[in-house]
Structure 1
Amino acid sequence: MSTLPPVHILFENPDWLPPLRDALHKEGFEYTEIPVHHGIISGPPAPGIYLNRMSPSSHTRGHLTSVALTREILAHLQAHGARVVNGLAAFELEMSKLRQHLTLQRFGIRTPRTALAVGTEHLVSLARTFEGPFITKHNRGGKGLGIERFENADELQDRLAQGDFDLGPDHQVLIQQYIQAPEPFITRVEIVGQRMIFAMRSATDEGFQLCPSDVCQVELQREKAQAAALADNCPIDGGAKFSQSPLKADDPLVLKYLAMCAASGIELAGIEFVEDAHGHRYTYDINGTTNYNQTLGRQMGIHGMEELATYLRHVVAPQVMAELG
């Protein structure tokens, strides 16, 4: 029997759990898995470490109650003094890309111009205030779903007239300045605790669905293969979609990320930026339910979930054990 405190995993998508299970087992943790789309909140929570793995894309898997229920669970845990990795403050930030934009700006981090609208007429009106191309995205997003690029407001108005534009789970849609990168990739900085464990490049020439999880990539390639079969084309190979970035841990931008995470209660994050032709780096997304590409991990010799489990073992577990006496 382990002498470590148990880990309670709050989750919605079981397909993302196997690498985490393996990493926790390797570090000697016992764990429970708590699906957060139904259940009961009552009485003091069980002792241990709570790991928040709730995703803003839960609605795409039919779990329409998960985000609201997670808010209540995290508030309940916080009220009882439970140790939560990525607790309520971090969760609220992940559920709103507009709040992410505001938080990034507060820490002096460059962002694309970003604004929110509810209602299609307001969306078009807002778009007319943007110069140059822009993208639309859900305020509560996930996996890059719902992102579309437009050259101008008239093009967006025509798209809305088609009647199948996805307004997202809350009908809150962002318009965000499109940053043209000289090379088709974005950079994602992976943070565990108060350090960068690695940074990677994600190729964008195939679209905006950049979830690095192996499960996500299998699903995306399956969709492309099906579409290619209908079009009588060969599917695109996504094997080289991710590669290691040369970004260093002492880069000034990374140091700003770490300061922001520390002040915002974020212990686990994948933060994304894009660089324009002038070398300006624009940060646009903070992923708290971050996943890792195992193929890239094997190439680099750095495994994200193992880094997380090590952090739980050497940093979080001693905190919990000290509180228990």
Structure 2
Amino acid sequence: MSKIYIIHENDEWTVHLTKRLKELHLPYEEWHLKNGVVDLQSVPPEGVFYSRMSASSHTRGHRYAPELANAVIAWLERHSRKVFNGSRALELEVSKVAQYLALSIEGITTPKTIAAVGREQLIEAAKQFEGQPFITKHNRAGKGLGVQLFQSTKDLEKYVNGEEFDEPVDGITLIQEYISAPEPYITRCEFVGGKFIYAVKVDTSNGFELCPAEACQIGDLYCPVGEEKEEKPMFEVIPNFEDPLIEKLERFLEKNEIHVAGIEFIRNQEGVIYTYDVNTNTNYNPEAEQVAGVYGMLELSKFLGEELDK
């Protein structure tokens, strides 16, 4: 019997999806790829396949899960199986460099970014930002990994040569211009089946750990967009959100064969939008969805069910 196969490495991020699949009486099977075997001479089962592989898998002890997922997805695509968020999506998931270059092709503005390997090279690259604040982040990241705010190259040099330096799992650190927003929030747009479903306003007052899942807890990080004292929910669905950027983002998703994603952007003081992150294993915040009456995992389950029927 054909099924929906879920490729992932994090049970906590998958349980909400399987709950919805059960509610809709849809047959499914999980493929947890912490480790495993791929028999290249075998034939994959019939069904549709959905990858939720994460760039942050190494923070859960699953260092090579994306590499294994890449092998599994290549095997599936070789046999013409329908894979949602397949090989191209995974390529972008594990590399912000690849994300930014792909976004720029579609005319989507991203922050000025330099990629560097090596501590000396990182410090040298930062000199291009001298006189203005800048942030660092990991190329293969997720969960706000490596995000730090610096006011000068001298501050970065102390960090890079100190014991607190956070080495990226792929060795690539990004230096990126600091985007000064008039208010401390970013916007995250959610897409299912390549189509926009809703936008979320995300409060960044307490740091830049912006994963909406309840399971995301990695401690405080430096926030690149200021401070705010008012008590309010971290995630709020924006009613009837509209912006010309949505059409560009949908085109970007279509061109890169990404079917499910959360894409984050920030507006600067002049109102210019900078898109800086594409999450192809997107999660949804249950409290914000409950208030708004929209449910990402339900929409995703319906989408996968419709594709299975085809």
TM (norm. structure 1) is 0.88
Measured in 1, the distance between the counterparts of 2:38 and 2:170 equals: 24
Deviation at 1:247, TM superposition (A): 6.1
Aligned position for 2:52: 53
Alignment pair present for 1:245 and 2:229: no
Deviation at 1:161, TM superposition (A): 2.0
Deviation at 1:245, TM superposition (A): 2.4
Aligned position for 2:89: 90
Deviation at 1:28, TM superposition (A): 1.8
Aligned position for 2:188: 188
Deviation at 1:238, TM superposition (A): 8.4
- 1:42-121 equivalent positions in 2, closer than 5 A: 42=39, 43-121=42-120
Q: Cα–Cα, structure 1 residues 96 and 214, in superposed 2: closer, same or farther, change >3 Å? A: same
Measured in 1, the distance between the counterparts of 2:108 and 2:199 equals: 17
Alignment pair present for 1:165 and 2:157: no
- SS of the residue 1:244 aligns to: strand
The code of the aligned residue for 1:263 comes to K
Deviation at 1:51, TM superposition (A): 1.0
Contact 1:101 1:284 in 2 (8 A): yes
Measured in 1, the distance between the counterparts of 2:5 and 2:239 equals: 35
Measured in 1, the distance between the counterparts of 2:240 and 2:106 equals: 20
Measured in 1, the distance between the counterparts of 2:282 and 2:106 equals: 21
Contact 2:97 2:115 in 1 (8 A): yes
Number of paired residues? Answer: 299
Deviation at 1:240, TM superposition (A): 0.9
Aligned position for 2:223: none
- Stretches of 4+ aligned residues off by more than 4 angstroms: 236-239
- 1:125-140 equivalent positions in 2, closer than 5 A: 125-131=124-130, 132-140=132-140
Measured in 2, the distance between the counterparts of 1:106 and 1:253 equals: 14
- SS of the residue 1:256 aligns to: helix
1:198-256 CA-to-partner distances (Å, cap 9, x unmatched) read: 0001111111101001222xx35xx57xxxxxxxxxxx99871111225635x210000
Measured in 2, the distance between the counterparts of 1:124 and 1:286 equals: 26
Deviation at 1:160, TM superposition (A): 1.3
Aligned position for 1:254: 246
Pairwise CA RMSD? 1.7
The code of the aligned residue for 1:24 comes to L
**Which one has the bigger helix percentage?**
1
Contact 2:4 2:308 in 1 (8 A): no
Q: Name structure 1 gaps, 5 residues minimum.
A: 225-235, 320-325
Alignment pair present for 1:273 and 2:265: yes
Contact 1:145 1:208 in 2 (8 A): no
Alignment equivalent of 1:38, drawn from 35, 38, 45 = 35
Measured in 1, the distance between the counterparts of 2:194 and 2:9 equals: 26
Contact 2:237 2:289 in 1 (8 A): no
Measured in 2, the distance between the counterparts of 1:259 and 1:123 equals: 33
- 1:12-23 equivalent positions in 2, closer than 5 A: 12-23=9-20
Q: Name structure 2 gaps, 5 residues minimum.
A: 221-228
Measured in 2, the distance between the counterparts of 1:40 and 1:303 equals: 34
Q: Cα–Cα, structure 1 residues 247 and 133, in superposed 2: closer, same or farther, change >3 Å? A: farther
- SS of the residue 1:168 aligns to: coil
1:59-96 CA-to-partner distances (Å, cap 9, x unmatched) read: 00111111111111111111111111100011101111
Deviation at 1:54, TM superposition (A): 0.8
Contact 1:185 1:203 in 2 (8 A): yes
Contact 1:19 1:305 in 2 (8 A): yes
Alignment pair present for 1:292 and 2:289: no
Aligned position for 1:282: 274
